[in-house]
Amino acid sequence: MKRFVIFAAGLAVGVLAMAWAPRMWARDAVRQSPQFYTVRLENDRVRVLEYRLKPGEKELTHSHPPGVVFYLSDATFRTTGADGKVTESNVTNGQVSWREFTTHDAENVGTTEAHAYAVELKQASPR
């Protein structure tokens, strides 16, 4: 009987962990939407992504660590944050933005392809 209780408890914890996992851990943008992201450089300090999203295309919910985004085109996005808040934003060619850790989905609601480079910071390793 004791083994059954331990098994049942372990199974319950596993099921709960799987149900909450998407909320607990970040979803990598490249893994979630590889058709929109290309890794251009990666080392122990940064990952540089090239991003393209055509008008009408929408990404799945994903996360980004802190970093810098450099826009190479004008674009209009509608994003939904992890809290459910929907925002619409315009970016311009040459705009550079700092981005804190974020989890969101994004849709290109404009008429031009969104094109950007994102430099994602990795945690510094102890020296």
- Domains of the chain in start order, with CATH, are 27-121 (2.60.120.10)
64: confidence class by pLDDT, cuts 50, 70, 90: very high
Query: What 8-state DSSP symbol labels residue 126?
Result: P
Contacts of 103 (CB under 8 A, 6+ apart): 26, 27, 61, 62, 63, 81, 82
pLDDT, tens digit (0-9, with 9 covering 90-100), for 40-62 = 999 999 999 999 999 999 999 99
Given this model, what pLDDT does residue 1 score?
62
Whether pTM > 0.85 for this model: the answer is no
Given this model, what pLDDT does residue 123 score?
80
CB 92 within 8 A of CB 57: no
2: confidence class by pLDDT, cuts 50, 70, 90: low
